[in-house]
């Protein structure tokens, strides 16, 4: 529908129901659709997601390495340093062998993959005090999956503590907002209410058949408010 020029979010639907993700999701998966023979070449899509998975894992391991180096500074004995290093190594191994992560990235091709890649990339920049570019990638992640907003309170707290002045914080927040406005511009200029209500629909009810983590609940409990 989007490829044919439809800009009203209320009318854009897919195989699993109406579109309930921001514009970044639409752009990413429209590209994937065009790059995989109109979505018919699933293997090609899995190849793309395997690269996303590798990049995601590499960034996470880099962050683990940075945190390990910083935390060893607070170890007073050699044995504490050894225990800390091996603890992080075990955590890294768990990331590499996680069946759930493999399923999300390579088998199911969920939007969690590109969204978390951009989120982790933003956190990596935050670790190096690159707040502006970090906020840019954070907002890009939000544009793919709204769940990334769950990290927003923590990010706001950091922005109030670490940048040099309140003006720097305002600039960072402005970057986040500007990214959303630019990516959503085609829809905001045409059907603003429709886009805001559907792309950031906080009260939507998920389909029980698509859940993985909550299968232990009955469908009635799952969809109840």
**Each residue's pLDDT tens digit, 3-35:** 666 787 777 776 666 677 888 888 888 888 888
Nearest CA among 91, 66, 90, 68 for reference residue 80: 68
Where does residue 160 fall: left (phi above 0), alpha (psi -120 to 50 degrees), or beta otherwise? Answer: alpha
Q: Give one DSSP letter per residue of 119-142, joined into a string.
A: HHHHHHHHHTT-HHHHHHHHHHHH
At residue 12, the pLDDT reads 77
At residue 87, the pLDDT reads 76
Report the C-alpha gap between 169 and 84 in whole angstroms.
34
Report the C-alpha gap between 37 and 214 in whole angstroms.
34
At residue 21, the pLDDT reads 81
The CA dihedral of 28, 31, 36, 41, to the nearest 10 degrees, is: 30
At residue 202, the pLDDT reads 61
- Tell me which DSSP letter residue 85 carries: H
Terminal Cα-to-Cα distance of the chain (whole angstroms): 31
User: Does pTM surpass 0.85?
Assistant: no
Report the C-alpha gap between 115 and 128 in whole angstroms.
21
At residue 29, the pLDDT reads 86
Nearest CA among 148, 171, 141, 146 for reference residue 159: 171
Query: Which residues of the chain fall short of a pLDDT of 50?
Result: none
pLDDT (tens digit per residue) in 205-216: 666 666 666 667
At residue 209, the pLDDT reads 64
């Amino acid at each position: 529908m989007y490829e044919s020029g439809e800009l009203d979010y209320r009318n854009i639907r897919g195989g699993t129901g109406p579109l309930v993700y921001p514009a970044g999701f639409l752009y990413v998966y429209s590209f994937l659709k065009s790059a995989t023979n109109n979505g018919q070449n699933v293997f090609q899509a899995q190849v793309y997601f395997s690269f996303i998975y590798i990049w995601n894992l590499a960034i996470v391991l880099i962050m683990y390495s940075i945190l390990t180096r910083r935390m060893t500074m607070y170890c007073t004995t050699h044995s504490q340093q050894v225990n800390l290093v091996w603890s992080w190594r075990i955590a890294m191994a768990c990331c590499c062998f996680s069946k759930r992560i493999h399923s999300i990235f390579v088998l199911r091709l969920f939007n969690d993959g590109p969204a978390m890649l951009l989120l982790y990339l933003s956190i990596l920049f935050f670790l190096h005090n690159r707040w502006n570019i970090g906020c840019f990638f954070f907002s890009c992640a939000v544009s793919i999956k709204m769940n990334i907003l769950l990290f927003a309170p923590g990010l706001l707290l950091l922005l109030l503590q670490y940048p040099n002045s309140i003006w720097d914080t305002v600039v960072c927040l402005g970057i986040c907002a500007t990214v959303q406005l630019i990516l959503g511009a085609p829809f905001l200029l045409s059907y603003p209410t429709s886009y805001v209500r559907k792309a950031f629909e906080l009260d939507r009810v998920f389909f029980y058949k698509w859940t993985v983590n909550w299968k232990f609940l009955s469908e009635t409990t799952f969809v109840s408010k």
